[in-house]
Every structure is written in C-alpha cells, then in structure tokens.
C-alpha cells in the first residue's frame, strides 16, 4: 500500500510559503486557458498538444478543459488541507511547477508576472533563479517513495502511452492519465474548486467561456 502524502511535512526553504505553489498553479491555468481560447475562439489550436500536461507524452490529447478541471480539483484539495493526494494529484503538482519553470526557461516575462499575480513571490528583475529553484523543488517535494521515484525518473512518463514504463511500474497512475484522455466535459464544481487561485476577472472570463460553450460542462 502506498504511503499517503502528508502536506504538513517540512517543505524546502524556497517553498516554505504557498506563494510559489499558487504561482505554479496559476502558470498552468494561464497556459492551458489560453490554449483553450485559441482552440474554441479562433477555431484552431496554436499548439499540437495544448495545455500544461503537454509535458507528459502519455497525456497527449487530453482536452485543455479537462486539464483545467483536474488542476482546479488538485488545487482545492491541497488548499483544504487534504493529506492523501493521489499519485495523479501529486503529478499535477509536479507538472504545474514544471510549467512555471518552463516560463522561466523561455523568459516569458508577461506570463511570469501574471502567474505571480501582483505578489512579490517572484522577483521579476531576477528571474534566473526561478527555473533552478523549481527544478530543485520537484525532486525534494515530500511525496511518497513511489511518486518521488516517478518524478526523478522522468522517463517513466516521457514515453508514448503504449510503451511508457509507468504502465508497468504504476499501472493505476497510467490508468488515471488514460482516463483523463478519454474525458471531454468538466465538473460544474470547476469554478468553485478554483477559489483562491484565479482573479475575479479571470473567474468572469472562465465563466463566460463555459456559458458560451455549455457542451463542455457536465450538467
């Protein structure tokens, strides 16, 4: 039986506050929502594999609205003090931080600033530390042994779905990823789960989008 994640374990000093966590989840939201808008508003996606889970070949093809749904569900669980994150939710944390790290790598000043959302958790004049700090965080996060091994050996998730090592090492996690790929609609609780993550303007924009595309909501 897998040991559960306990969120009260000490975090690395650079991550002691929840600021970088929120910024990471916001980076994942901003990237994925933009891809969603590109696909439905302009009629074409600007990226072959949209969303923050594009980092995970096994999750290629996962609809961006489904990525947002699982992102917000994970956010709700970690901010409500849940101590038993599933392997999938642990991976969502991992790839959310990976998205913010990617923005640091490409020096996307605008998106980094929007991810920080007016807080001083990220020094916009000294962003060179951002990627290395987040990459270090990814291998020191107090996840269970299986999840830590999964994250340190990125190849477990970096192969095609039909031959990914995770299929053999963590079949339940592979099943969860494959289930996400098969989903299309999102939960009506989606916006509620994003409480504390989005700005009021972003909540309005997201709500307007789904009111204009009700076929994406599981009503």
How many Å apart are CA 106 and CA 65, to the nearest integer? Answer: 24
Q: Where are the domains of the chain?
A: 13-216
How many Å apart are CA 57 and CA 34, to the nearest integer? Answer: 20
96-150 pLDDT, tens digit each = 988 998 898 888 989 999 999 877 777 766 667 788 888 777 766 655 434 445 5
Report H helices in the chain.
19-41, 64-79, 87-105, 109-116, 128-140, 145-152, 166-169, 171-181, 190-193, 200-212
How many Å apart are CA 139 and CA 148, to the nearest integer? Answer: 7
28-85 pLDDT, tens digit each = 999 999 999 998 887 665 556 689 998 777 787 899 999 999 999 999 988 887 667 7
Whether this prediction's pTM lies above 0.75 is answered by yes
Of 49, 86, 75, the closest CA to residue 174 belongs to: 86
Question: What's the distance, CA 81 to chain centroid?
Answer: 18
How many Å apart are CA 116 and CA 104, to the nearest integer? Answer: 12
Are 122 and 27 in contact by the 8 Å Cβ rule? The answer is no
| Mean pLDDT, range 184-191, rounded to an integer | 94
How many Å apart are CA 173 and CA 169, to the nearest integer? Answer: 9
Structure confidence at residue 11 as a pLDDT band (50, 70, 90): very low
Question: Does the pLDDT value for residue 4 go beyond 60?
Answer: no
193-214 pLDDT, tens digit each = 999 999 999 999 999 999 999 9
């Amino acid at each position: 039986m897998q040991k559960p994640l306990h969120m009260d374990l000490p975090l690395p000093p650079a991550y002691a506050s929840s600021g970088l966590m929120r910024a990471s989840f916001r980076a994942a939201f901003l990237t994925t929502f933009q891809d969603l808008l590109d696909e439905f508003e302009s009629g074409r996606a600007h990226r072959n594999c949209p969303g923050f889970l594009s980092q995970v070949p096994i999750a290629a093809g996962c609809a961006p609205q489904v990525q947002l749904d699982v992102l917000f569900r994970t956010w709700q669980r970690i901010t409500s003090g849940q101590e038993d994150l599933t392997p999938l939710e642990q991976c969502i944390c991992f790839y959310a931080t990976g998205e913010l790290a990617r923005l640091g790598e490409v020096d996307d000043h605008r998106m980094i600033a929007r991810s920080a959302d007016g807080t001083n958790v990220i020094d916009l004049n000294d962003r060179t530390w951002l990627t290395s700090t987040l990459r270090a965080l990814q291998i020191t996060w107090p996840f269970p042994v299986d999840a830590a091994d999964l994250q340190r050996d990125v190849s477990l998730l970096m192969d095609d779905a039909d031959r990914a090592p995770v299929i053999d090492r963590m079949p339940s996690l592979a099943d969860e990823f494959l289930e996400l790929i098969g989903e299309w609609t999102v939960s009506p609780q989606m916006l509620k789960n994003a409480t504390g993550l989005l700005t009021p303007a972003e909540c309005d924009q997201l709500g307007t989008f789904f009111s204009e595309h009700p076929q994406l909501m599981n009503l």
